[in-house]
Amino acid sequence: MSSATKINISIIKNALKSILKKKNYDISEIKRKKKHIQTQLKQRKEISHETACDLSKIITRNFPEKLNSSKINTVELIEIALKIYEKSITKKKSKKHNDRNSDTLSIKVTDEILKLNKNPLSLPDLTPSFLDSDLREEYDKNAERGTNIDAVESGLIAYTLSDSNTEVFKVAIVEKYHNDPGLSGSLGFANIHTTKVIGYFCNVYTSNVEASKNSHEGTIEIASAVRGVVQNTITRDIKFADFIVIAIRSDLGLQRLGNSPDTYTKIYKVDNDLLDDFYLKKNKHYIRFAKSVKSGWFYPVELQKFVFYNTAIIASIRMGKGYLTNPMILSAVGQPIITGKNREKPLAVVYFDYNGQWATDEFHFFRELDDDPRVIINAKDVGVNSVGDLIIFLFNQFSFNQIGFSEQKIKKIRDYLKDNIDFSITYSKFLSLLEHAIKTAYESNAKKKYEKLKELIEQRGGSNFWNNKILPKLKAHNDAYRLLDESIKNGKLVIINLGNYEPEQKPSVTYKILKYLFRKASEAYIKNDHEEYVYSTMLFFDEAHNFAPENGKSNRYPYEKKCKTLLKSISTDASKYGLGLGLITQRPARLSKDVLGNIRNLFIGSITSIDGSNQYFTQLLAGKDPSKLNPYQFYAHGDACPVNGEIIKSFDPKDLAKELKKRK
């Protein structure tokens, strides 16, 4: 090192000591002092403008790994900053730079500097201002096993431009990708510290610099220079795009961009292995079950909004509803839901399997897994879950109206039994209570009415009928609902197998379970001091139009209306308890508008029309024709989706099973 350089270093060292007067600094304090350091250095005539800028960046943004602590020693900070600075000084590269200041920096990234500092100072500076220093340790760990720099540069797509904002930033696309037909609508990745940025290129356009010199002059010249494009290429067309961005921090998950990244931040083409590593192994707030048809990259969906903003899957028969729903649910079940008190609760899924496809593993998914995650509850095994249900069941077995009981008298008998019956009841106790109930309903002739009813019961088998028909229902109350409670607590997939049940009976057993779950969720909410999402359960309904039919479309069977009313309540009021809805149908026009109106996430496959089903859906699909989609393809829309309108295709359930094995 020359004596001149030594003098400069000595001067700079003394200057920094006078500026950084405290013995120790918090990292946040240093970051806030960047402008102050830069201004103070610039005021000294012996220190050039470039040196002042570079040193302030080194000190405030490029801490070596060993300075990663709550307090930074000033002497140590200055020594290491100067060491980086000294190693950064190189000889001037050409004669045309001879007129610049003697201590102007021309950065040369060497292995030695990389070892000292994982993100060495380079021009232009790539470190975004919105990153927190406390994330640096995680970044350093990732950098040690990170991608080769040359390999990263080969995937460079674009640079951010100065007229960006917090929601959208402008990018200048590198020449290599000017004619890439797949660029518009592709996801992108910017490797800036611990923040991974997944975004969406849109509004891609070509601008001739000469034709738009006033609006882009400064931007184009600088962007061209940064890319190393020689001056005469300034007359070429330059391709621009808006890049809608979502910033994903490895510790916090997805967040909207707080501030736009620094100008010239690099945007890279996504590497599938990198994305797989991030979403499969690191980010627990997103689920993956499909890939973008256009880009081939998988399509991340925000778990919390997917569950509690309610979701619908709509497509014609044989167009892939089950094929999409299977990996959708299996990628979500067991994943952590963040409650209102910032606790993690594993997501449980209760799937009402209308045709029994999941119970029989029609898609061959579960046989690919080492451990079958299903807990199967057959509808015929589901007993009563309340005294009221028990009484209804008893009255269905004994035809009171056939032996002269009026509806008014039957109601009085029911009310009496409801106040006095419990699940430990025996046959003899039931007869005794029944006799008293009839006496409360009839002031006279009560004994004769009771004898007629008792005779009917005896004809049905008496105590044998009780033991064979009634007791199993009482036992099922304990067994089935205990299994349901335990499975939800542990974040399991519960299949309610309705496949072998008669169509007219499916709404009734579904209503019983729904009523039970709604009550348990609201009780958990109150018990935990109104903690949101504490029950953390998503309810999926295959052939959902059979459980919540639109007025005049069905209501053929008992309990359809009750089911619809309860589903409407769940869709509007139960998300705070931790209940979310997933509706699957090929007949959206037959599904209740009251329920569909509360759906905020839509995956729609090939279907002729959804006219009249939901105005929100119609608005989402403006300009799109779902009938032209291929089988197994879906438009993805909603609050949980990073890019609305993207065409996605589900993973093969067997392939996802293999991916889940890798995750373990």
Q: Dump pLDDT digits (tens) for 199-222.
A: 556 666 666 544 333 333 333 333
Tell whether 151 and 278 lie within a shared domain.
Answer: yes
Assess if residue 455 is contained within a domain: yes
Q: Is the pLDDT reported for residue 30 higher than 90? A: no
Tell whether 402 and 366 lie within a shared domain.
Answer: no
Question: Which of 541, 536, 531, 530 lies closest to 489 in space, CA to CA?
Answer: 536
Expressed in angstroms, the distance from the first to the final Cα of the chain is 54
Spatial contact of 323 and 214, defined as CB atoms under 8 Å apart: no
Check residues 313 and 434 and name the one with the higher pLDDT: 313
Tell whether 270 and 230 lie within a shared domain.
Answer: yes
Tell whether 211 and 324 lie within a shared domain.
Answer: no
572-627 tens-digit pLDDT = 989 999 999 999 999 888 888 889 889 999 999 988 766 555 566 666 676 778 88
Q: Which residue's entry shows tokens 């892939």?
A: 320
Q: Is the pLDDT reported for residue 232 higher than 60? A: no
Assess if residue 49 is contained within a domain: yes
Q: What is the pLDDT of residue 386?
A: 59
58-93 tens-digit pLDDT = 776 555 444 445 567 777 778 777 877 776 654 333
Tell whether 397 and 343 lie within a shared domain.
Answer: no
- Give the percent of the chain with pLDDT over 90: 17
| Residue 42: band (very low, low, confident or very high) from pLDDT cuts 50, 70, 90 | confident
Check residues 178 and 272 and name the one with the higher pLDDT: 178
Give how far Cα 614 sits from Cα of 173, 312, 421, 540, 639, Å.
39, 11, 45, 19, 16
Spatial contact of 35 and 42, defined as CB atoms under 8 Å apart: no
Q: What is the mean pLDDT of residues 108-128?
A: 26
- Please, what sign has the CA dihedral across residues 464, 470, 475, 480? positive
Q: What is the pLDDT of residue 518?
A: 94
Cα 262 to Cα 159: distance, rounded to the nearest angstrom: 10
Mean pLDDT of the chain: 70
475-508 tens-digit pLDDT = 655 678 889 999 999 999 999 999 888 887 788 8
CATH of the domain at 567: 3.40.50.300
Domain extent at residue 349: 316-373+492-600
Q: Which of 61, 95, 123 is the last residue of a domain?
A: 123
Take residue 461 and report the two structure tokens written for it: 């088998």
Tell whether 229 and 273 lie within a shared domain.
Answer: yes
Spatial contact of 547 and 359, defined as CB atoms under 8 Å apart: no
Check residues 377 and 234 and name the one with the higher pLDDT: 377
SS3 508: helix
Q: What is the pLDDT of residue 589?
A: 83
Check residues 121 and 489 and name the one with the higher pLDDT: 489
- Domain count along the chain: 4
Q: What is the DSSP letter of 401?
A: G
Cα 529 to Cα 466: distance, rounded to the nearest angstrom: 42
Three-point CA angle 174, 229, 104, nearest 5°: 115
Cα 387 to Cα 391: distance, rounded to the nearest angstrom: 6
Q: What is the pLDDT of residue 194?
A: 41
Tell whether 70 and 216 lie within a shared domain.
Answer: no
Residue 292 CA, distance from chain mean position? 16
Q: What is the mean pLDDT of residues 456-470?
A: 79
Q: What is the pLDDT of residue 492?
A: 94
Assess if residue 296 is contained within a domain: no
Assess if residue 573 is contained within a domain: yes
Cα 326 to Cα 353: distance, rounded to the nearest angstrom: 12
Tell whether 367 and 391 lie within a shared domain.
Answer: no
Tell whether 361 and 415 lie within a shared domain.
Answer: no
Provide the residue type at 188 as one letter: G
Q: What is the pLDDT of residue 254?
A: 44
Q: Which residue's entry shows tokens 């197998």?
A: 497
Q: Which of 262-271, 351-360, 437-446, 459-468 has the highest mean pLDDT?
A: 351-360
Assess if residue 623 is contained within a domain: no
Cα 191 to Cα 31: distance, rounded to the nearest angstrom: 21
Assess if residue 381 is contained within a domain: no
295-353 tens-digit pLDDT = 666 677 889 999 999 999 999 988 888 889 988 998 899 999 999 998 999 999 999 99
Q: Which residue's entry shows tokens 């007229």?
A: 163
Give how far Cα 491 sits from Cα of 280, 309, 334, 485, 538, Å.
18, 19, 5, 10, 10
Show the DSSP H helices in 124-276 as ranges.
136-144, 149-154, 213-226, 272-276
Q: What is the pLDDT of residue 162?
A: 67
Assess if residue 619 is contained within a domain: no
Q: Which of 65, 90, 123 is the last residue of a domain?
A: 123
Tell whether 275 and 150 lie within a shared domain.
Answer: yes
Tell whether 363 and 403 lie within a shared domain.
Answer: no
Q: Which of 470, 505, 521 is the last residue of a domain?
A: 470
The packing angle between helices 74-88 and 49-61, to 10°, is: 130
Q: What is the pLDDT of residue 384?
A: 57
Q: What is the DSSP letter of 629?
A: S
Check residues 548 and 367 and name the one with the higher pLDDT: 548
Q: Is the pLDDT reported for residue 141 higher than 50? A: no
Identify any residues that bridge with 172 across adjacent strands, giving them in sequence order.
Answer: 159, 240
Cα 472 to Cα 467: distance, rounded to the nearest angstrom: 7
Tell whether 119 and 157 lie within a shared domain.
Answer: no
Assess if residue 607 is contained within a domain: no
Q: Is the pLDDT reported for residue 634 higher than 70? A: yes
Helix (H) or strand (E) holding 238: strand 237-249
